[in-house]
Amino acid sequence: MGEEGVSDTPKDDFLERRRAARQHIDMELEDGETLAERHAFFDAVYEHAGHDPAAVPWAELRPRAALLDWLGHLDPARKQGRAIDVACGLGDNAEALAAAGFDTVAFDFAERAIEWARERFPESAVDYRVADMFDPPSEWIEAFDVVHECYTVQSLPGHLREIAPAAIARLVKPGGRLLLIARFREEGSEASGPPWPLMPSEVALFEEAGLRTVWRDHYDVVRPDRAIPHVVAEFEKP
């Protein structure tokens, strides 16, 4: 299981607990390619974590730097309207969208993730909902000025991964934007996920789903032992 988050808390054994949880996930949990299998996988991660975010490998407990950077450069006139955080996990990215001024919905199909996000942010303005990206409420279709997708597509194997970009793209309003943040790998290179970083042809699936690339950039998330290639891209629905 890939490590996404690290703690800034030097005094405890956060990294040790994260390593143990990743080992448990790698050894004990079935990956599976169907929606039901992925759902069971993520439920099992959150259940096993109990109340310890160290045991949720992607939980950074702060918004992603690339999202904050994007929000920081956004024209103030565009910091309004509705935003949705796709597969929000423990909620930090959704909170950043709401703090920037968006009327924000955030969803995840793991009930425990949503319960946990609500516990972490009891005063939140975010509307946290349990929902499946592949079967969202009909009122969410083409309803959002900003759609934020971080690390979900890369967490899916097989057919789900092929259909996820279109499922996400249909939440974007005409004229609205999608921000994609993901690990990245060269076309055709091997990946031993989860996560399975996105290849250029998989980033292109967002265009095949009717979006236009506004800009795209590549960067590394630097860990003490390695640099993890990432892609960040903004798309617009014409």
**Least gap, CB of 238 to ligand SAM (angstroms):** 26
**Least gap, CB of 43 to ligand SAM (angstroms):** 8
Listing DSSP states for 18-78 in one string gives HHHHHHHHHHH----SSHHHHHHHHHHHHHHHTT-GGGSTT--SS--HHHHHHHHHS-GGG
Of 14, 18, 25, 42, the residue at the interface with ligand SAM (CB under 6 A) is 42
79 SS3 class: coil
Dig out the tokens for 24 from the structure.
């448990």
Of 55, 83, 84, 93, the residue at the interface with ligand SAM (CB under 6 A) is 93
* Residue 231 within binding range of ligand SAM, rule CB under 6 A: no
Of 54, 71, 110, 171, the residue at the interface with ligand SAM (CB under 6 A) is 110
* Residue 151 within binding range of ligand SAM, rule CB under 6 A: yes
* Residue 104 within binding range of ligand SAM, rule CB under 6 A: no
**Least gap, CB of 183 to ligand SAM (angstroms):** 10
Q: Is 152 exposed, middle or buried (0-12, 13-18, 19+ CB in 10 A)?
A: buried
Residues 6 or more apart whose Cβ sits within 8 Å of residue 229: 183, 184, 185, 197, 218, 219, 220
Dig out the tokens for 221 from the structure.
């998330």
* Residue count, binding to ligand SAM (CB under 6 A): 18
* Residue 89 within binding range of ligand SAM, rule CB under 6 A: yes
Binding site for ligand SAM (CB under 6 A): 38, 42, 58, 87-89, 93, 108-110, 113, 132-134, 150-152, 155
